[in-house]
Amino acid sequence: MTYLTKRELSWFKTLSEKNAISGQENEISSFLKSEFEYRQLPIVTDRLGSIFAVKKSRTPDPIKVMIMGHMDEIGFVVSKIESNGMVRILPIGGINPLTLTSQRMRIKTIQKTYVYGAIDATPPHLLGSGTPAIPRVQDVYLDVGLSSKEAVEQAGVRIGSMVTFDAAFHVLNNGQRIIGKAFDNRYSIVMGLTVLDALKNVDLPFDLYVGASVQEEIGLRGAQTMTHVIQPDFAIVLDCSPARDSSGNKDELGQLGGGVLLRYMDRSMVARPSLLAYQEKMAKKAKVPYQYFDSPGGTDAGAVHKSADGVMTLTHCIVARSIHSPSTILDTQDFLSSKKTLLTLLKDFSAKRFEQLQREDR
Residues involved in catalysis: 216
- How far is residue 100's CA from residue 104's CA, in Å, rounded to a whole number? 9
Residue 324, SS3 per DSSP: coil
Residue 190 CB, nearest approach to Zn ion (Å): 14
Closer Cβ to Zn ion, 42 or 94, answer by number: 94
* β-strand partners of 91: 76
Output b/e per residue, 302-336; b: 16+ Cβ within 10 A.
bbbbbbeeebbbbbbbbbbbbbbbbebbbbbbbbb
Strand ranges in 28-174 using DSSP code E only, listed in sequence order: 43-45, 51-55, 63-70, 75-81, 87-92, 104-108, 114-119, 142-143, 162-165, 170-172
CA atoms within 13 A on the CB side of 103: 23
Neighbour-count burial of 361, counting CB atoms closer than 10 A to its CB (0-12 exposed, 13-18 middle, 19+ buried) = exposed
Supply φ then ψ for residue 345, to 5 degrees.
Answer: -65, -45
8 Å CB contact between 237 and 184: no
Kindly calculate the radius of gyration of the chain based on its CA atoms and give it in whole angstroms.
21
- Residues 6 or more apart whose CB falls under 8 angstroms from that of 344 comprise 282, 283, 285, 286
What residues line the site for Zn ion (CB under 5 A)? Answer: 184-185, 239
183 C-beta neighbours (distance < 10 Å), count: 26
Identity of the residue, 185 or 337, whose beta carbon is nearer to Zn ion in the bound complex? 185
CB of 59 to Zn ion, least distance (A): 32
For residues 327, 333, 336, 341, the Cα torsion angle rounded to the nearest 10 degrees is: -110
Q: Which helix (H) or strand (E) holds 337?
A: helix 332-348
3-state SS, residue 311? coil
- Give the number of other CB atoms < 10 A from CB of residue 148: 13
**Whose CA is closest to 232, among 63, 348, 48, 43?**
63
